[in-house]
Structures are given as structure tokens and as C-alpha cells.
A and B are shown apart, each in its own frame.
Chain A
Amino acid sequence: MRAERLPRRIVWGVAQSETILDWEAVYTEALPRLYNFFRYRVGNDLVAEDLAATTFEKAWRKRNSYRQDLAAFTTWLFAIARNVANDYYRRRRPEFYLDELESDPGNVHLANDPADNPEEIALRSAEFARLSVLLRQLSPRSQELIALKYGAGLANRDIANMIGMTESNVGTLASRIVARLRSEWEVDR
């Protein structure tokens, strides 16, 4: 994330803001983090794309309200992302269109043409699906922590600020969760 560059057409902040972020750099750096945060949070690549897009669009619309220093940017962006994820779980409801039966029955990048390379597709999706199953058994708070730490790759300090815990508590809790996941992963193998 670069700062203090001359504003291009796409910049973060406006003239009256003291902080000017290079939007392109922000986007390049933050999108993979956001995307993986949502993948770990919802266990589904397609939904993760939608939620990451929603987050960026919201952030873009609200860019004028962002007046903090650069260090707080990630916190701000992920605060939006967490709300987007929570909204998603609140309004999640079964809904379907007939075409999806044919084109996307599994919604896990499985069914575009499963018969073409079933082994590869199955292996790729099965491992992540297994992890998603294990993650879903955690409390929502633990799921969020794992998504922030191992999906988005955020530091304990940033996570602590976001979810209202101390940095050391974040580390301790993460270690416990990972140990539990590892153990269940091995048992399941």
C-alpha cells in the first residue's frame, strides 16, 4: 500500500482529505486478502467473489467518509467486510433458479463440466470443502478470527482492534483453534 503519491483519476480520498491513497495499489493489495477472508468465512469461492465485490463497492462509495491515517485503512476496510459477511449470513436463504441445477449444482466450482476432469475437480474442492466443514463447527467469533488471520493474513494486532480482544488473546485463541482443527483434520483423514 503506497501513500503520498500524486492523485490519479482513481485515488482514495478527495482534495480536502489529508490522506491520499493510490487506489490501484490499494486494490491490488487488498483484494486477495478480502477474497480469502470471505472464502474462509463462507467456504465458497463464488460467494466470496460477490462479497468481496460488495465490500469494495461499499468502500468506494464511502471513501469520502474515510479520514484516518493509512495504518487504519485495513481496519476500516475489514470493518466493512465483516458487516458484509454478517449481512450475508442474516439474509442467507435458500433460493434457486432452474438453470443452476444444470450449470452449478454444487456451487463449489464443481459442476461446470464435472465429467471432463472429475478427479481433479473433486480433489480441489474436496479438501477446501473439508476445511469449510470443520470451520463451520466453530463459533461465529472463532470462524471470523480464522478468516481474518489465515484467510486475510492480518496481524494479531489488527485483528485485536477489530474484534475487541487483546493481541495476546487473539494469539492464544488462534493457537487453540488451529490445534483443534489440526486434530479433527487428521482424524477425518
Chain B
Amino acid sequence: MKDPFLECFREKPRPEFSRKLYQKLQEQDHTRGSTPHPLRKKRSVQGMAAFTIVFVLTLIILPGVLAGPIRTNLHTLPGLTFCEVDRTPVTTAINPNPLIKKAQVASLQDARRTASFPIDIPSWTPENFVMQNTVNLVGSLDNKEVDRTAVPGKEIYFEPYAVGITWRDSRTPRRIQLWVVKHGIWFEGLPNPSIGRGSYQATDINLCSGALIEGQWNPQTHRWDNSRGGYLVWVAPDLDYYLVASNGRFPTEDLKRMALAMQ
């Protein structure tokens, strides 16, 4: 039974994704070669044996080798633990953020009508930063549906657990986003954001525990880069706040000033 109602949502895979995956499979083929299966198995056994010997020798001769990679420094806020590491975690085949979410944009006014929590915004922002007309709403698929009669004419169809507001610098690509997130929802489970070494600085915002984090990961080098922006995170009784500065160097004092100007 054909059904256009459901089939219309099919999409072609992105050409880039198709090409890269095909290339990856081909590379696997090159790596493995066209060796017949039994011989390949024998080689893999030999390889495993060699690896085991090297690994054991490493343990015996260089015990310090293991100490480096597992050395971490943790900083904890209520419900949130930051982990200082040298490099970004190794990317796995599975998306590292597999929460099924829904998202949409709306006006701040509509977001405020729909969200079950207050969405305050700072009365001060750095010079030349302009607030965007729309905000991001994020909810899990399990979040209850919104009675849309309460938001007449608007397409907000779920109750968000996070709302993001964006300011852009009118002269440079720099951007600031404020995320207001229901406490314990976003990070439920394994809250271990990885940050660069030495980037963490404890602070407080209106008597709430917080953290100033200077820099961001560089996705190309997988190294922490202090010139890429920064974060200010603070935890209120029911809400978590994230000020995220991106696309350029940013004084962390400005983030704190924005946070203190929240109304």
C-alpha cells in the first residue's frame, strides 16, 4: 500500500555523506586488501600477538605512559561535572548526542507564553551586539504537547525544556547565545562536558554557583583554543543558564556582566 502522506518525508542522503561513507568503505577494503579470509584471520592473530607483546612491554617498562591519558581534572556544579582533558574525546560512530529532540524557532514573546519557566534576558549586552528576532526552542519527544489554543496562530507544538536567545555582533561574526534550560533535564544521566585544561574558573552569579570557561574546542585540531570564545554557566534552583560566546575572542568579564544584568 503506497501512502504519500508518509512517504513524502523521505529524503535523499546528503551527497557528501554518501560520498564519504563510500570512500570509507573503500578504504577499509584497501586496508584489508583482497587477502582470502583464512589467511587474513591468521594475520590478525599474529597482529594481536604482536600488539599484546608490545602492550605488556609498555606496561612493564613505561608505567608512566598510562598515567597521562587518564589524568583528568574534574569541576562540579550541582548536576553538572566538567572534565578537563587535553583533547576532545574521540568521535565514535554514533552521534555523541543521541537524545531525540525536537526543535523550532519562535519569537521570544511566543516562547515565553509556551515555556513553563521564566525566560529572562540581560538588560546589558556588549556594544554592537543585536538580539535576533527569533529564539530556539528545544524539547524532547517525550515532552508533553502544547495546547496550541493557548498560543493562537502560532506553530509551537511542544513545551520546550530549553530556550536559546542569540545576539550577533553587527561588525564581526562573533555571537553570544543564552540558553535557559530546565534543571536536570538537559544533563540527566552523564553530565561530563569536556573542557580544556586550565580553562575553568569558579564564579557565582547572584548567589548561584557558576563557572567561567575561557575558550572552546577547535574541531579541526581537537585542541582547546582560547581565542574561540567561552562559556559562563550557572545553576539556579530550577534552571541552568549557559552563556556561550563564539566565533572570536571574548572577554569573560563581559559574559559575567551580561549574566548579572539578567532581568
Contacts and interface: CB of A to CB of B under 8 A. Distances in A.
Nearest to A133: B141
B177 A47 contact: no
B179 A108 contact: no
Contacts, number: 215
Interface stretch (B53-61, B87-95, B120-128): B87-95
B98 A57 contact: no
Given A31-B13, A102-B246, A153-B7, A115 B97 contact: no
Interface in B129-178: 132-134, 136, 138, 141-142, 145, 155, 157-158, 162, 164, 166, 168, 175, 177
A125 B252 CA distance: 34
Interface string A35-60: 11001101111110111111011001
A32 B134 contact: no
A14 B21 CA distance: 21
A5 interface: no
A106 B136 contact: yes
B18 A99 contact: no
Given A9-B29, A40-B9, A105-B164, A125 B96 contact: no
A182 B4 CA distance: 11
Contacts of A39: 9-11
Contacts of B217: 97-99
**Range of interface residues on chain B?**
35 or more
Contact of B104 (A52, A60, A100, A126): A126
A21 B95 CA distance: 30
Contact of A56 (B25, B96, B162): B25
B177 A132 contact: no
**Range of interface residues on chain A?**
35 or more
A115 B157 contact: no
B6 A97 contact: no
Contact of B157 (A10, A46, A126): A126
B179 A95 contact: no
B97 A122 contact: no
Interface string A147-189: 0001101000000000000000001001100100110010010
Contacts of A99: 216-217, 219
B186 A36 contact: no
Contact of A129 (B34, B102, B166, B219): B102
Contacts of B115: none
A160 B24 CA distance: 32
Contacts of A4: none
Contact of A57 (B25, B102, B229): B25
16 contacts: A27-B22, A35-B13, A47-B100, A53-B24, A57-B28, A93-B190, A95-B97, A96-B193, A97-B89, A98-B194, A101-B244, A104-B97, A107-B95, A107-B101, A118-B133, A129-B103
7 tightest A-B contacts by CB? A106-B103, A94-B189, A150-B6, A129-B102, A118-B105, A115-B132, A110-B103
